Structure 1
């Protein structure tokens, strides 16, 4: 299974970025092989609006079944939900820590966004 983790860097040892839409990278990890791809999200970092929706679309397009992040706003959450991508919020540590927690079943899926909308 593929999971997407918001990240401050391009490695499994990189720290999880708490922001979803504006994280510099989103690391897509195959939980069976631990092979990964770091996707550059810099186009969304300084976007005026729509960063979360664009990042959510990219996560879905990359085939991730789960997004692991710190905070996910309502528009991004709705987009992910519509694409069938489950969200795990309040994630900290490294990308590897997050994936290991997922593999151990030590995560709780979010039923709602945990960040207010940006107006």
Structure 2
């Protein structure tokens, strides 16, 4: 399974970035091999609007089935939901720890956004 995780860095031991749309990086992690693909999200970090929607499209295009993040706004959540990507909010620690927590069943799927939109 491909798991997208918002990250402050480019490695598995980087801290989880609590923001989704404006995260510095999004790591696409293969849950079986822990091989990662790094998505540089710098284009969205300073965008005026639509960062979450663009980030959602990026992870969908990479085949992610799950997103682990801290906070996900309403527009991003709707886009992810429409793409069939499940969201587990409240992820923390390193990317590696967040993935392991998810695989161990410690992170639950969200049924709605957990932060207000910017606009």
For structure 1, list consecutive stretches of 5 or more residues without a partner in the other structure.
none
Q: TM-score, normalised by structure 2?
A: 0.98
- Which stretches of structure 1, 4 residues or more, deviate above 4 A after TM superposition? none
The two structures, once aligned, show a CA RMSD in angstroms of 0.5
1:16-71 deviation digits (Å, cap 9, x = unpaired) = 00000000100000001110011100000000110000000101111000000000
Which SS does the other structure have where 2:110 is aligned? Answer: coil
Q: TM-score, normalised by structure 1?
A: 0.98
Which SS does the other structure have where 2:99 is aligned? Answer: helix
The count of corresponding residues between Structure 1 and Structure 2 is 119
Whole-angstrom CA distance in 2 between matches of 1:37 and 1:56: 15
For structure 2, list consecutive stretches of 5 or more residues without a partner in the other structure.
none
* Offset of residue 118 of structure 1: 1.1
Aligned to 2:67: 67
